[in-house]
């Protein structure tokens, strides 16, 4: 499903409305804009700040019903040195003598420090003009103040949920579920990425927290936001917002109550409390309160969240990410169906599981009407996707990723996949031997398990009587035992050494004894290099044999991929052999004994 993201942008939607209603005119080459307010005001339209101003101007007239004849743009402020101009001023009278609201506009994505500066600027302007209200709009972050009723230095108790509609009363809350004009707004992918980035920067506080800790805390708040969108009843105000005259503590307590309740119901995902200062939580609520995140379509949301994660996990934790192109190919090859139980025993941030979900979802949306389709894939998300991730923090990222994609997070556990089976099923009873239909995985390479440090080497045929063994070799055996005999299938990334080193013949013997090898696809040396792993590897596709199954000689599909959709630096490569290889594989499956490869 492709979405033209521009049409989902709040700003561009407003500008289109403004043009239609004759409030603004934009030149044919998009370089100039004219505001039709108390006078004609024309200026350059190249600056991102202008987009924000134009959008808010349209809202003031169409949504807040202020007469355009009582609005002026770029108003010189008396008594301010150096000379300052207010971006938008609304007046109470038609002679434009009594300023009512002063607006300061900034582009989307400015830092919290810049936002604070903008607030000071708007206060200076509003006080000089003696206006009753001031609003600062920085993209999707908006804050309004009641200037008249408070001391000039007050910046917290005088925050209001929103400006009044047409000189009326200040609302207690700006966002009310299901009420026209008060609903949350859907945004484009870029706007969502910006909002997530702003939230992360707010929490990270310029390096006071480790980036991964900051990510954890943003995840908790994002979770509260998503939950609030789902659980708020019609005609009730959303909890995840800033009400009129509310302090940071009050906002924090309300958001924290959502979190504590969720924690009670699901202690697996969220073990610790929110560990942030109320003022920081307040700022994140400012950034996110307007957005209807649940309403944004899944692909957009998924890509935004992935981009947001990649930005600061890639460098530090590249081993937990498998490139999308490789994931997609493995999912095509295994072709997960709604009834399949799918496992990734080294799930990282959940790429294989979410792509399996996408496949089932695409099928459902192509073949059923909306309600049925949702039920079809939703059940799969909740009940059929399983993951194990050894790193607790990354496991939480994976759960968060699942929640953003509409769930299934309860079947993600954080433990060592190589532990004794009983110990794993003690954590979650569904993780048992011989149970799964499909495994898609990119196990950790290169770590060595010594018999002294882990008592489990002897539980493995490939570990018995060995002093130490590589994790990826134990992973092969673990995967074989996790899937169902006779029908269970596996797609696994393996270092080429396992396929070629003479000293590892015993591993290949084990694989051939237990499995039918369906296909081997060799990847280029650089496939994982921009993730910090330069080991030459291949994708191996297996089906577990039945206890007494004898296969004799059989053909194996072999292919080499030189181009995989990205290059050694991680940049897009227009060529991707993996799709051609998949088409060839389909031909091979139809008639293995007579297949003529290229």
Give the position of tokens 């081997």: 520
Terminal-residue alpha carbon distance, the chain: 32
Averaged pLDDT of the chain: 88
- pLDDT tens readout for residues 458-467: 889 998 888 8
- pLDDT tens readout for residues 17-42: 999 999 999 999 999 999 999 999 99
Give me the residue spans of the domains in the chain: 5-160, 189-295, 322-590
Decide if 542 contacts 517 (C-beta within 8 A): yes
pLDDT of residue 2: 34
Contacts for 530 with CB less than 8 Å, ≥ 6 apart: 318, 566, 568, 569, 570
Task: Work out the average pLDDT over 486-503.
Answer: 94
Phi, psi of 536 (to 5 degrees): -65, 125
Flag whether pLDDT at 598 surpasses 70.
no
Task: Work out the average pLDDT over 66-83.
Answer: 86
Measured in whole angstroms, how far is the alpha carbon of residue 87 from the centre of its chain?
34
The Cα–Cα gap between 385 and 395 comes to 14
Structurally, at CATH architecture level, domain 5-160 sits in Alpha-Beta Complex (3.90)
Flag whether pLDDT at 231 surpasses 80.
yes
pLDDT of residue 6: 59
265 burial via Cβ count (<10 Å: 0-12, 13-18, 19+)? exposed
- pLDDT tens readout for residues 560-569: 999 888 888 7
Task: Work out the average pLDDT over 269-291.
Answer: 89
Decide if 142 contacts 185 (C-beta within 8 A): no
Q: Count CB neighbours of 208 within 10 A.
A: 10
pLDDT of residue 53: 96
Flag whether pLDDT at 533 surpasses 70.
no
pLDDT of residue 81: 65
Flag whether pLDDT at 530 surpasses 90.
no
Give the position of tokens 């134990």: 474
Q: Count CB neighbours of 162 within 10 A.
A: 21
Flag whether pLDDT at 277 surpasses 90.
yes
What percent of the chain lies above the pLDDT cut of 70? 93
The Cα–Cα gap between 74 and 53 comes to 11
322-590: CATH, from 3.40.50.150, 3.30.450.70, 3.20.20.150, 3.30.70.141: 3.40.50.150
């Amino acid at each position: 499903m492709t979405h033209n993201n521009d049409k989902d942008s709040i700003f561009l939607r407003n500008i289109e409305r403004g043009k239609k209603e004759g409030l603004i005119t934009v030149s044919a080459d998009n370089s100039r804009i004219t505001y039709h307010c108390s006078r004609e005001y024309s200026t350059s339209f190249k600056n991102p700040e202008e987009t924000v101003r134009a959008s808010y101007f349209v809202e003031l007239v169409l949504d807040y019903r202020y007469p355009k004849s009582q609005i002026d743009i770029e108003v010189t402020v008396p008594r301010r040195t150096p000379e300052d101009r207010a971006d938008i001023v609304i007046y109470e009278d038609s002679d434009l003598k009594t300023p009512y609201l002063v607006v300061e506009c900034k582009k989307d994505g400015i830092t919290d420090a810049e936002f604070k500066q903008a607030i000071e600027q708007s206060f200076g302007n509003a006080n000089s003009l003696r206006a009753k209200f001031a609003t600062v709009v920085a993209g999707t972050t908006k804050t309004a103040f009641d200037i008249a009723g408070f001391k000039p230095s007050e910046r917290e108790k005088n925050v209001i949920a929103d400006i009044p509609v047409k000189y009326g009363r200040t609302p207690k809350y700006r966002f009310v579920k299901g009420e026209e004009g008060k609903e949350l707004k859907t945004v484009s992918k870029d706007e969502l990425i910006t909002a997530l980035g702003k939230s992360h920067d707010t929490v990270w506080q310029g390096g006071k927290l480790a980036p991964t800790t900051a990510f954890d805390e943003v995840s908790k708040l994002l979770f509260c936001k998503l939950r609030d969108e789902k659980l708020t009843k019609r005609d009730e105000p959303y909890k995840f917002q800033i009400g009129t005259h509310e302090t940071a503590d009050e906002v924090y307590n309300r958001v924290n109550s959502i979190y504590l309740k969720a924690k009670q119901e699901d202690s697996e995902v969220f073990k610790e409390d929110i560990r942030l200062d109320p003022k920081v939580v307040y700022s994140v609520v400012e950034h996110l309160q307007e957005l209807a995140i649940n309403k944004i379509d899944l692909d957009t949301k998924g890509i935004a969240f992935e981009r947001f994660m990649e930005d600061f996990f890639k460098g530090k934790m590249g081993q937990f990410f498998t490139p999308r192109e490789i994931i997609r190919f493995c999912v095509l090859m295994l072709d997960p169906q709604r009834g399949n139980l799918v496992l990734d025993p080294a799930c990282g941030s959940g790429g294989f599981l979410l792509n399996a979900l996408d496949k089932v979802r695409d099928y459902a949306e192509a073949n059923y009407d909306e309600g049925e389709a949702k039920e079809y894939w939703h059940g799969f998300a909740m009940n059929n996707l399983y993951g194990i991730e050894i790193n607790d923090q990354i496991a939480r990222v994976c759960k968060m990723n699942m929640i953003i994609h509409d769930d299934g997070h309860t079947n993600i556990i954080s433990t060592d996949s190589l532990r004794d089976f009983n110990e794993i099923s003690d954590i979650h009873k569904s993780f048992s031997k011989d149970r799964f239909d499909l495994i898609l995985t990119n196990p950790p390479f290169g770590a060595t398990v010594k018999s002294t440090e882990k008592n489990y080497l002897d539980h493995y045929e490939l570990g018995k009587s060995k002093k130490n063994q590589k994790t990826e070799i134990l992973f092969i055996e673990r995967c074989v035992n996790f899937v169902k005999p006779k029908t269970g299938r596996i797609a696994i990334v393996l270092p080429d050494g396992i396929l070629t080193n003479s000293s590892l013949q015993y591993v290949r013997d084990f694989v051939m004894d237990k499995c039918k090898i369906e296909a081997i696809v060799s990847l280029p040396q650089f496939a994982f290099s921009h993730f910090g792993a330069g080991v030459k590897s291949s994708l191996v596709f297996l089906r577990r044999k039945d206890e007494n199954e004898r296969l004799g000689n059989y053909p194996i599909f072999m292919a080499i991929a030189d181009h995989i959709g990205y290059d050694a630096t991680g940049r897009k490569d227009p060529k991707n052999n993996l799709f051609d290889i998949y088409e060839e594989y389909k031909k091979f499956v139809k008639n293995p004994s007579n297949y003529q490869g290229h």
